[in-house]
Structure 1
Amino acid sequence: MGIIIGHIYSVSGPVIVAEDMHGTAMHELVYCGKEKLVGEIIKLEEDRATIQVYEETAGLGTGDEVFSTGKPLSVELGPGIMGTIYDGIQRPLEVIADQSGGSIWIKRGVSVNSLSRETQWDWVPLPGLKVGSLVAPGDVIGTVQENSLINHKIMVPPNAVGGKLVSVTPAGPHTIEDTVYVLETQGKTVEYPMYHTWPVYAPRPVREKLPGVNPLFTGQRVLDALFPVVQGGTCAIPGAFGCFAPGTKVLKANGETILVEDVKEGSTLLGPDGTPRTVVNLTTVSGPTFTVKTTVAGRPLSEVTVDTSHVLCVESPTTVPGHVRVPNTDLYHIPVSDYLALPAEVQAQCSIAQFRSKTPAGTTTEAPESWYYVAGVFLGDSSRDSSDESDELVKAIVGDAEEKFAEFLDATFTADGTPMLPMAALALPAACRRNLLAGMADVAAIQGGKTDAGLLVPVPCSEACLDAAAALAVSVGLTPIPVAGGLALAGPLEHIKPLLKKASPVECRDPVRFTLEPGSDMECKGFTLDGDLMHVLPCGTVHHNCGKTVISQSLSKYSNSDCIVYTGCGERGNEMAEVLMEFPELDVEIDGVKHNIMKRTCLIANTSNMPVAARSASIYTGVTIAEYLRDMGLNVAMMADSTSRWAEALRECSGRLAEMPADSGMPAYLGARLAAFYERAGRAAVLGAPERKGSVTIVGAVSPPGGDIGGDPVSTSTLSIVQVFWGLDKKLAQRKHFPSVNWLRSYSKYTNALEPFYDEHYPRFVDLRVKMREILQHEEELLEIVQLVGRDSLAENDKITLEIAQVIRQDFLQQNGFTDFDRFCPFYKTVWMMRLILEYYELAQTHLKRPGKQSWAHIKTGTIKAFRLLSQVKRALPSDGEAVLVKQFEEALEEIVTAFQGLAE
């Protein structure tokens, strides 16, 4: 493992100080303590080294040994990278899972190889390569067909000296540790395997930096047409959290209710299985909201106000297009913005997930089930009070009952003696909840009789415990109906009989249907949870705690990059799990052949419940892998989601080092670190022969607190560095406009650099883009005038501008990701749609200038078929092929021209 050269002097969270560290270097990899926790030296002072540990440091103490490795934090680069998911320091999570014996937790100090040593790869020497020839760093020696998409080039490491080629292993199957070539360097022979290591903080050298010349196509018209990014460029996109309106009640793990604005970091909330979920982060978001109104069997249950990025926990018996079902359930995690875009027939099948406690939780589960029937009897008896006689009766019935159950029973009184159903009842096992309700219903003498909904069982409840009683009813499959003096429990007879007979453990229930109604703009509160990120509201419905970044994932699925490196830095674990579930089901078509998208993807997962310090390494691990793939001559897209969480890791370590804080507690060197990261993007002519050119495009997601990009130091520093900004707008999402990219706030500085490409392949595109942006900008000005004087007061040419701008917004910029024709838009289709819309616009403006009284209403009526074509052309299926679509577009153009010729006659 190494030589013991030091001992721990102090421990402060992820930062430790070790003494007797003579001979070590900055950024050197070390192992700490008996469990050999991975760490990195970040500061040296005399014989003491400050070490950033990438794992939980609980259990480390002064005097524990520190082991040196003599090398910096590095990654292994070679065949086997694609299709693998790593943690922040390139440990393969699938291998770790196998070693953990089925545990969902990563053991501390686990040490595994980043690349498989057992897999056999078909090694093929480079044709024409001769023994005795001179080779230099970066030269390609041979290839390995990693999969049907990636032909992996085996290169001389850039930090090698080079020399004379002594021998090359013949073609055949080999592991990555087998020697495949030997060089003679300065009189010594050096054997080289298929892989090599590279320090993550050192950019890989290139022969020459080149300007970007080709666009990175995303398949989203608003991005490809108006705000393009080059292959080798940098781009920023804001992420979002889903939040609740102030005043919303959530359930703590002990069953108590708490307002969302009172939730603190470290608070524990009730999970959908009855176990706790810990709050690990808080956020505030301002913007448009929606009210989620839930009903059971047609009767109102609850209302809760959320922002547009809030994630709904939806159950559906049928497949929800564009979303992946949680394994072994009917559950989907769907953001509000995505749900609004679903077809109506799909929405009709959806219901909100309900609370289901599968395991005993709380402090009262040891008591016999019948004791909870007794508690229900006392709750249902409206004449009960908190007199001494009642206390004596409780003791006589319960006897020497388990003390904690007695505490539960005492909690059924408020301070003034009013019967009170404690929220802790929600955390009880199903049988106990059923008995509690049975006692309340039986003592109420089953008043109300039969209805079309089943039986009505009035349960006397005070206003203070209506929420708890309703949630309890939903949790066992009943419909809670508020009535005078209490709560009625309704449901089909098969729901009621098990309750009253206390016989069946089966929990059958009516689905909780819901609708979304637009609300006003307001400030919402949110939080990030550990585990599965779900929690329970007092009404018994299950909610997710936050939203997700969507566009960066669509880039991974549909962009024209050769390979993708997706780095989830401090993001939610289920988001990375969703990527793992979605990507194997997605295909990318190249040269008419479909390939699984995982073949070109490498995932770096450092989730929010992993150690904070490892976040800082995950970004560098991802970009180093991307540079290695670039050196093969590939165009690589790297998604960093999100750089804000990476900056939080820097702030954490900076605080532990007692460094002087800057804006928002961030370290003063934040801007320099961000710039150094984004500078590793670019297009380059790489080292070695044969000549190769590759690129690394970096798309960084930022998640500013409260959505305030202007006041967040990470966002402002990022925007001063990147050349493209795709600004998301929640008001567009509220209007069901997706992608919700604000065309007035977003920008791209690559438009001039890409003009030679457009002039060569799409000669009219530049003029079309300029004209389209002018129309959208003019529309914004006209809408202000319309608010003052009305649309009828506008000039006729301005009316045309407003109408065509609406077509651009609704039929061009807006895309439906759940349809075959609009999920991905090839660039030739984008250009043709622009051409058709603007051709109609120019012809209409020209006709308006003809002699005589002309009006927009007359023009539109006379060319109504051609006008409708502008909306219909987007339904052309890309799968039909470019030739078929171009022919359809040419026919549409001819029809538009003919319509105006007929109008002129």
Structure 2
Amino acid sequence: MPTKVSAFGPMGAWHGFPPIRVREDFSQWAVGSVQDLHDQLGAAHGDFTVVSPPPGPGTQHRPVGCALIGVNGGSRLLAGWQVRVGHDKLVGEIIKLENTNASIQVYEDTSGLTVGDPVERRKQPLSVELGPGIVDNIFDGIQRPLHAISDLTKDVYIPRGVDVASLNADKKWRYKPVNFREGDPISGGDIFGLVHENDILHSHKIMCPPNVFGTVVKIYGAGTDGNESFTLKDTVLEVRDDTTGVTHKLGLSHMWPVRKPRPVAEKLAGNVALTTGQRIIDALFPSVLGGTCAVPGAFGCGKTVISQALSKHSNSDAIVYVGCGERGNEMAEVLNDFPELTMTVNDREVPIMKRTTLVANTSNMPVAAREASIYTGITLAEYFRDQGMNVSMMADSTSRWAEALREISGRLGEMPADSGYPAYLGARLAAFYERAGRVACLGSPKREGSVTVVGAVSPPGGDFSDPVTAATLGIVQVFWGLDKKLAQRKHFPSVNWLISYTKYMRVLEPFFNKIDPEYSTLRTKCQEILQKEDNLTEIVQLVGKESLSEDQKVIMEVAKIIREDFLQQNAFSDYDFTCPLVKSVGMLRSIILFYNLSQKAIADSPPDAKVTWAQIKTSMNPVLQKIIQTKFQLPKQPEAELKAFFSGLDEEVEQAFQTLSD
């Protein structure tokens, strides 16, 4: 029996065909019937035979939405399966099934599709290829390699329907089989080989796909030296399924559906801090490796700079940076900057791109592919996690992803909720953030990995009551709220210390106490000073500083030092582009020590010879300047040198106050 199909493209346009039974131009939508011909070579073929308008004034037909079920011959379609639409074989995905109707989302511009164009069904959901070659690469939202497409087409634009392998299938990789012999049982997640990818990922682990298990029948690659070269198309291991008797031929890569989380053995609690190189984050609002973080802020607040700083300087083993619906210039900046940045590995400077994967789905690319790009990025991150690595995924920005979700929901005719977003927005966001975490990986040998998700949120006008921001804050454990007023004052990172928070402090206390046993006290005191300053600011604006008591003047002046010299950071300087944890804690300790001794000197002075802030500032000016200038210590100094410097400074501060009291 014939079945109905509707398809809508990313920009919502099908052009190039005459409207049928249409009194107005409804060319944005196309609804037709698809007749299944045969189930050949794993693909169902059909074509469009009727085009009808969407519901609207002057129409007599109301299309139900979408389509491809009840295909002749008994074969059925499933939601999430891939299809190829038209002669150009545009990439599409079935996103909804209802009775005999299915909705197809096309991830490319659908201009020019006409009645009679073929539709081809692939027997797999939207998937990505996982294997060597992912890092130091840039993909679009559905894992098409942009460099390879550029080299193939010699064009700055991506042609419609271009079909290029996600990973280079012709490149030979040096492969070494490990851990298994013929006859051994094997199951999903087991590591059976190693590939040297680059100087950072020197041992890319080749794993058995999570849905494969059985007995090892044949091992390839065990040459005289234990190493041989293979491409991604070659078989490196044969596994027989003892239940069905089917033999699986495993290569260096495998496919995995993007919307299905990769299985793990056990979820674990995070216990190691994510160091970012940003003092306000590392010292006041830290996250764990495997945490969930949100960075909401209005236009121009520095969301992208924070995301890029985390990509450049965090203590992660691999980085997945997803540019989802943001400006193309930002991805271009990443492409220009990252190859110039280096990290030291075995006394050699190695480009940081060797640990980075970029998923670019910028604002001038198809809207619908934004919805897939977030899932593509998190699936790539989970793959590296399963190898036992700590991975950071930057999603810039989840608001654009939610807008794509809103557009698709609207096309399906679903009931809108707040601001037009679908009612299941919170559930989708939660399902995405739940894929983060520290885990015990599936398979042998035993290993642990983590995925840290940092989601930038772009609320319109900086309004944090926006549905996406509100839903995100109910899910994530760390909130770095960016402030428009701080950004306008050129205070960067513009993280507002009064509204930001972290829920990981209790689990991170043992980690920070190893660096400095007084860390928890220092952090609490710092936040207390900043809060008191905020309370006193209104009084100062009304009646001036002279009305304050001496201890309140100390609060105002020390808070100014904390704001301008500790929390503020110049990402483009050679001394402040990043800040190691030892330097951050050392600076904070020196400032809080100065504050405590100042308050003690004022409190302990006799009434007839009261010590004032003016006296302290005058007599302690050289020491105060040294504290202010601690940020000029170069971050690449050895840790022992930094510790020695700050220990000497603390002794100098104590000696100066001793002299003052005498």
| TM superposition score category, shorter chain reference | 0.7 to 0.9
**106-115 vs 168-177, which moves further:** 168-177
Q: Deviations over 1:479-512 (max 9, x none)?
A: xxxxxxxxxxxxxxxxxxxxxxxxxxxxxxxxxx
Q: Match for residue 657 of structure 1? A: 412
Check the 8 A contact 1:6/1:20 in 2, yes or no.
no
* 1:592 shift after superposition: 4.7
Aligned partners of 2:303 and 2:456 also within 8 Å:
no
The counterpart of 1:68, out of the listed 121, 139, 146, is 121
Task: Measure how far apart 1:729 and its partner are.
Answer: 1.4
Alignment partners' CA distance in 1, 2:323 and 2:255: 22
Query: What does residue 44 of structure 2 align with?
Result: 4
**1:903 alignment partner in structure 2:** 660
- Retained in 1: the 8 A contact 2:591–2:627? yes
Q: 8 Å contact 1:17–1:48 — kept in the other structure? A: yes
Partners of 2:651 and 2:346 in 1: CA distance: 31
C-alpha distance 216-639 of structure 1, shift in aligned 2 (>3 A): same
Aligned to 1:765: 519
Structure 2 CA distance for aligned equivalents of residues 685 and 781 of structure 1:
46
Q: 1:88 is matched by which residue type in structure 2?
A: G
Q: Report what 2:210 is aligned to.
A: 158
When normalised by structure 1's length, the TM-score is 0.64
User: Is residue 6–residue 21 contact of structure 1 (8 Å, CA) maintained in 2?
Assistant: no
Paired residue secondary structure (1:807): helix
The Cα offsets for residues 296-330 of structure 1, whole Å up to 9 and x where unpaired, read as: xxxxxxxxxxxxx3xxxxxxxxxxxxxxxxxxxxx
- SS where residue 168 of structure 2 aligns? coil
Say which SS state the counterpart of residue 225 (structure 1) adopts.
Answer: helix
Whether contact under 8 Å (1:11, 1:17) holds in the other structure is no
Deviation at 1:784, TM superposition (A): 1.7
1:181 maps to what in 2? 237
What is the letter of the counterpart of residue 82 of structure 2? L
CA distances 1:194-234 after superposition (whole Å, capped 9, x unpaired): 10000001000000000111111110100111111111111
> What TM-score, normalized to structure 2?
0.87
Whichever residue aligns with residue 234 of structure 2, its letter is D
> Which residue pairs with 1:138 in the alignment?
189
**Secondary structure of the corresponding residue to residue 648 of structure 1:** helix
Pairwise CA distance, 1:163: 2.7
Partner of 2:584 in structure 1? 830
Deviation at 1:874, TM superposition (A): 1.3
Structure 2: which amino acid aligns with 1:30?
V
In structure 2, how many angstroms separate the alpha carbons of the residues matched to 1:19 and 1:691?
44
The residue aligned with 1:647 is 402
1:244-287 CA distances to partner (integer Å, 9 max, x unpaired)? Answer: xxxxxxxxxxxxxxxxxxxxxxxxxxxxxxxxxxxxxxxxxxxx
| Identity over aligned pairs, percent | 57
* Map of 2:556 onto structure 1: 802
Distance 2:541 2:157 in 1: 58
Tell me the residue number matched to 1:553.
308
1:739 aligned counterpart, secondary structure: coil
CA 1:753/1:53 → structure 2, altered by over 3 Å: closer, same or farther? same
Which one-letter code corresponds to 1:176 in the other structure? Answer: L
Q: Deviations over 1:670-712 (max 9, x none)?
A: 11111111110111001011111000011111111222121x1
2:283 to 225, 235, 252: 225
Aligned to 2:438, what secondary structure does the other structure show?
A: strand
- Of 187, 194, 197 in structure 1, the residue corresponding to residue 252 of structure 2 is 194
2:463 aligned partner: 708
- 1:69 deviates by 0.9
Specify the alignment match of 2:362 in structure 1. 607
Q: How do residues 718-737 of structure 1 correspond to structure 2 at under 5 angstroms? A: 718-737=472-491
Quick check: 2:279–2:567 contact (8 Å CA) kept in 1? yes
Q: Match of 1:143, SS? A: strand
Deviates more, 1:586-595 or 1:840-849: 586-595
For the 8 Å contact 1:4–1:65, the answer to whether it is kept is no
Q: Measure, in 2, the Cα distance between the counterparts of 1:62 and 1:650.
A: 28
Change (3 A) 1:131 1:708: same
Equivalent position of 1:582 in the other structure: 337
* Match in the other structure for 2:81: 28
The 1-side partners of 2:204 and 2:508 are apart by: 30
What's 1:623 paired with? 378
Aligned residues: 598
**Kept in 1: contact 2:91–2:161 (CA 8 A):** yes
The answer to whether the Cα contact below 8 Å between 1:80 and 1:116 also exists between their aligned partners in 2 is yes
Equivalent position of 1:92 in the other structure = 145
Q: What amino acid is the match of 2:235?
A: T
2:163 to 104, 108, 111: 111
Secondary structure class of the residue paired with 2:167: coil
**Residue 846 (structure 1) aligned to one of 600, 605, 627:** 600
Structure index of larger Rg: 1
The one of 636, 652, 668 aligned to 2:391 = 636
The answer on 1:594 being equivalent to 2:349 is: yes
- Structure 1 stretches lacking a partner, 5+ long: 242-308, 310-336, 338-546
> Are 2:68 and 2:77, in contact at CA under 8 Å, matched by a contact in 1?
no
Q: Label 1:781 to 1:20 Cα distance change in 2 as closer, same or farther (>3 A).
A: closer
Distance 2:439 2:283 in 1: 25
Give 1:553 shift.
1.1
Report the Cα distance in structure 2 between the residues aligned to 1:109 and 1:16, rounded to whole angstroms: 23
Q: Which runs of 4+ in 1 moved over 6 A?
A: none
Is 1:48 matched with 2:101? yes
- The structure, 1 or 2, with the larger RCO (C-alpha pairs under 8 Å, 6+ apart) is 1
Q: Distance in 2 between matches of 1:108 and 1:858?
A: 73
1:502 matched residue in structure 2: none
Match of 2:529 in 1: 775
CA distance in 2, matches of 1:691, 1:92: 33
Superposed counterparts of 1:433-452, under 5 Å: none
CA distance in 2, matches of 1:833, 1:638: 29
* Cα distance in structure 2, aligned partners of 1:634 and 1:714: 30
CA distance, structure 1, for counterparts of residue 164 and residue 605 of structure 2: 81
The offset of 1:788, in angstroms, is 2.8
C-alpha distance in 2, partners of 1:872/1:223?
Answer: 20
Deviation per CA, 1:346-378: give whole Å up to 9, x if none: xxxxxxxxxxxxxxxxxxxxxxxxxxxxxxxxx
**Aligned pairs for 1:516-531 within 5 A:** none
Question: Is the 8 Å Cα contact of residues 274 and 286 (structure 2) preserved in structure 1?
Answer: yes
Q: What is the SS of the residue equivalent to 1:157?
A: coil
Contact 1:131–1:166, Cα closer than 8 Å, also in 2: yes
Aligned residues of 1:135 and 1:165 also touching (Cα < 8 A) = no
Q: Relative to structure 1, is the Cα distance of residues 209 and 165 closer, same or farther in structure 2, using a 3 angstrom cutoff?
A: farther
Give me the CA root mean square deviation: 1.9
Q: What is the CA distance between 1:730 and its match in structure 2? A: 2.0
Distance in 2, matches of 1:10 and 1:763, equals: 72
The match for 2:628 is 871
Structure 2 counterpart of 1:169? 221
Report the CA distance between 1:239 and its aligned residue: 4.5
- CA distance, structure 1, for counterparts of residue 53 and residue 284 of structure 2: 49
Code of the residue aligned with 2:237 in structure 1: it is: Y
Q: Check whether the contact 2:290–2:452 (CA below 8 A) recurs between aligned residues.
A: yes
